[in-house]
């Protein structure tokens, strides 16, 4: 029998163990799901109504721009959105520093363009650390722009009349003009309730993402599609990987205490093949759970993940490397207690520093830089690039080679350490 066959025997053995004791597997799935639920509740389940801080750079300063901006201060909207007039530069600074929810830029000539029936663009710069409040602002603006467009189409002749008579929307109108317009508007509104027109005003939403402008342009996932779950779901998957690494790597101590590692050292095959079987069995578990989770995200939660399958496979390989690395870390210590403390320390650092507990986008710049050097943060960045469509699955080749190399190194070290500490030294 070959070493490979022995490895397959060991894989089957550990898969059998996992299936016969599903509590661990359930914990593996439930813990990230629980964290996700808690975070969703924390960000979305509070009774306190959050307030958005909307910066408005009114470069047009016309009656129309004033009406548009004033709409945010009306009724219930005023309770949700605090508006502040700023210059474009001031607004951008506030958004980039994360102190404002969004910056709305009304460009110069916006009012005249509207009156002349020419399309114009409103710019909305949003804070990516917030999801719900920018979403409300975007929805409100969409309604306003659609309404504005309808108004322009319905009342084209009347607006033209205003335009020709006053020359500027800020000037006053004659009584005759106003009464004529009122009759026309009434007639038009009665007949136009069942059909729509394309909006005459469009707005573009620019996320204050720290990724490069080129990446943002190449993204196949529109900002409108990005929800809190979109941002947090990949983080939850890496959280799952961390839990899997911690749980599956600690099994080496269970085996040691049971005496099965020692017995494994007395069989004809080198113990490294038994360890490889163990690591690969853990990898298969992670692969299965990740595929199910990623498919759940894609097809049940309808998250707009591109290349979700390639992404899930990449994360599974990351999981294999985490299991292998953490197992190597476990056997570095003489006691399970010592190993547990150190592994838990690394788990905490990865969870909070690597974007698994908070979306990377919600973390300060310096923390995002730190996250890139943590295994889960590094994997998360590559994973998100693939599911966003910012990079093709083929671009993962180098990261995959890096992961496989680390897996092999960890496995070799782990086997050598087990043989050295728990046996004769021959792995």
Partner 1 sequence: MIKVEDLYKSYGETVAVDGISFTAEPGRIFGLLGPNGAGKTTSIDCISGVHKPTSGRILVGDLDIVRNARQAKAQMGVVPQEVALYEEVSARENLHFWGGACGLRGADLKSRAGEVLELTGLIDRADDAVKKFSGGMKRRLNFGCGIMHRPPVLLLDEPSVGIDPQSRVRLLDLVREQASAGVTVLYTTHYMEEAESLCDELAIIDHGTILADGSLDELRSLVGEKDMVKLTGTFDPAEVSRALGDNLPEIEIMESDEAALLVSMSDAAGNLAALLGVLQENGVVLRETSVRRPSLETLFIKMTGKELRE
- The reply to whether 334 sits near partner 1 by the rule CB under 8 A is no
Least distance from partner 1 to the Cβ atom of residue 268, Å: 4
Of 75, 191, 259, 394, the one binding partner 1 by CB under 8 A: 259
Which residues in the 170-229 window bind partner 1 by CB under 8 A? none
- The reply to whether 93 sits near partner 1 by the rule CB under 8 A is no
Q: Residue 57 to residues 108, 122, 132, 285: CA-CA distances in angstroms?
A: 10, 10, 22, 53
- The reply to whether 421 sits near partner 1 by the rule CB under 8 A is no
Measure the CA–CA gap between 169 and 123, rounded to whole angstroms. 22
Least distance from partner 1 to the Cβ atom of residue 257, Å: 8
Any residues with CB less than 8 A from the CB of 3 and at least 6 apart, and which?
Answer: 269, 270, 273
Q: For residues 17 and 138, which CB has a smaller minimum distance to partner 1 in the complex?
A: 17
Helical (H) or strand (E) element with 373: none
- The reply to whether 16 sits near partner 1 by the rule CB under 8 A is yes
Tell me the three state secondary structure of residue 401.
helix
Measure the CA–CA gap between 98 and 133, rounded to whole angstroms. 13
- Cβ neighbours, 10 Å, residue 127: 24
Least distance from partner 1 to the Cβ atom of residue 103, Å: 58
Q: For residues 259 and 394, which CB has a smaller minimum distance to partner 1 in the complex?
A: 259
- The reply to whether 369 sits near partner 1 by the rule CB under 8 A is no
Q: For residues 5 and 97, which CB has a smaller minimum distance to partner 1 in the complex?
A: 5
Least distance from partner 1 to the Cβ atom of residue 275, Å: 13
Measure the CA–CA gap between 211 and 221, rounded to whole angstroms. 14
Q: For residues 12 and 97, which CB has a smaller minimum distance to partner 1 in the complex?
A: 12
Residue 104 φ then ψ, to 5°: -105, 125
Among 224-232, 254-262, 310-318, 390-398, the segment contacting partner 1 (CB under 8 A): 254-262
Least distance from partner 1 to the Cβ atom of residue 330, Å: 19
- Cβ neighbours, 10 Å, residue 108: 15
Residue 355 φ then ψ, to 5°: 80, 20
Which residues in the 148-167 window bind partner 1 by CB under 8 A? none
Q: For residues 25 and 332, which CB has a smaller minimum distance to partner 1 in the complex?
A: 25
Q: Are 191 and 155 in contact (CB under 8 A)?
A: no
- The reply to whether 5 sits near partner 1 by the rule CB under 8 A is yes
Measure the CA–CA gap between 90 and 93, rounded to whole angstroms. 5
Q: For residues 10 and 374, which CB has a smaller minimum distance to partner 1 in the complex?
A: 10
Measure the CA–CA gap between 272 and 265, rounded to whole angstroms. 9
Cα angle: 393, vertex 7, 344; to 5 degrees: 65
Of 26, 61, 183, 262, the one binding partner 1 by CB under 8 A: 262
- The reply to whether 10 sits near partner 1 by the rule CB under 8 A is yes
Q: For residues 22 and 167, which CB has a smaller minimum distance to partner 1 in the complex?
A: 22
Task: Say how many residues touch partner 1, by CB under 8 A.
Answer: 27
Which residues in the 263-282 window bind partner 1 by CB under 8 A? 263-269, 274
Of 1, 42, 213, 300, the one binding partner 1 by CB under 8 A: 1
Q: For residues 302 and 420, which CB has a smaller minimum distance to partner 1 in the complex?
A: 420
Least distance from partner 1 to the Cβ atom of residue 273, Å: 9
Least distance from partner 1 to the Cβ atom of residue 312, Å: 27
- The reply to whether 6 sits near partner 1 by the rule CB under 8 A is yes
Q: How far apart are the first and last CA of the chain?
A: 18
Measure the CA–CA gap between 268 and 265, rounded to whole angstroms. 8
Which class for 259: exposed (0-12), middle (13-18), buried (19 or more C-beta within 10 A)? exposed
Over the range 345-382, which residues count as b (16 or more CB within 10 Å of their CB) and which as e?
ebbeebbebbbbbbbbbbbeeebbebbeebbbbbbbbb
- The reply to whether 4 sits near partner 1 by the rule CB under 8 A is no
Pattern 380-399, partner 1, x by CB under 8 A: --------------------
Q: For residues 263 and 369, which CB has a smaller minimum distance to partner 1 in the complex?
A: 263
Among 78-86, 195-203, 237-245, 257-265, the segment contacting partner 1 (CB under 8 A): 257-265
Measure the CA–CA gap between 116 and 341, rounded to whole angstroms. 70
Q: Are 293 and 240 in contact (CB under 8 A)?
A: yes
Binding site for partner 1 (CB under 8 A): 1, 5-6, 9-10, 12-13, 16-17, 20-21, 258-260, 262-269, 274, 423-426
């Amino acid at each position: 029998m070959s070493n490979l066959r022995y490895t397959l025997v060991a894989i089957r053995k550990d898969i059998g163990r996992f299936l016969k004791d599903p509590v661990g597997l359930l914990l593996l799935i439930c813990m990230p799901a629980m964290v996700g639920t808690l975070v969703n509740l924390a960000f979305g389940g509070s009774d306190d109504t959050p307030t958005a801080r909307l910066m408005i750079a009114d470069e047009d300063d016309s009656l129309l721009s004033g009406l548009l901006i004033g709409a945010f201060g009306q009724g219930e909207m005023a309770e949700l959105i605090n508006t502040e007039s700023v210059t474009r530069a001031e607004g951008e600074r506030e958004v980039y520093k994360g102190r404002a929810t969004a910056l709305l830029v009304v460009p110069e000539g916006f009012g005249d363009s509207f009156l002349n029936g020419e399309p114009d663009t409103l710019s909305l710069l949003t804070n990516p650390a917030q999801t719900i409040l920018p979403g409300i602002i975007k929805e409100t603006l969409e309604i306003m722009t659609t309404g504005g467009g309808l108004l322009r189409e319905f009342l084209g002749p009347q607006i033209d009349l205003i335009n020709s008579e006053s020359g500027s929307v800020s000037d006053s109108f004659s009584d005759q003009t106003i009464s004529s317009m009122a009759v026309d508007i009434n007639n038009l509104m009665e007949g136009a309730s069942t059909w729509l027109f394309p909006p005459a005003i469009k707005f573009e939403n620019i996320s204050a993402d720290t990724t490069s402008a080129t990446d943002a342009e190449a993204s196949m996932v529109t900002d409108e599609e990005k929800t809190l779950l979109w941002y947090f779901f990949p983080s939850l998957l890496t959280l799952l990987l961390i839990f899997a690494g911690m749980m599956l790597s600690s099994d080496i101590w269970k085996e040691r205490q049971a005496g099965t590692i020692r017995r494994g050292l007395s069989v004809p095959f080198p113990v490294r093949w038994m360890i490889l079987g163990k690591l690969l069995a853990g990898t298969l578990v992670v692969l299965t759970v990740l595929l199910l989770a990623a498919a759940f995200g894609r097809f049940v939660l309808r998250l707009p993940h591109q290349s979700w399958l390639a992404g899930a496979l990449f994360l599974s390989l990351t999981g294999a490397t985490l299991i292998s690395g953490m197992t190597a870390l476990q056997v570095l210590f003489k006691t399970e207690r010592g190993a547990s403390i150190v592994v838990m320390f690394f788990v905490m650092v990865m969870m909070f520093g690597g974007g698994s507990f908070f979306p990377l986008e919600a973390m300060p710049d310096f923390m995002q830089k730190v996250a890139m050097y943590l295994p889960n943060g590094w994997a998360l960045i590559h994973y998100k690039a693939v599911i966003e469509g910012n990079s093709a699955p083929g671009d993962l080749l180098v990261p995959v080679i890096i992961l496989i190399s680390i897996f092999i190194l960890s496995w070799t070290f782990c086997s050598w350490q087990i043989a050295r500490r728990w046996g004769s030294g021959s792995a």
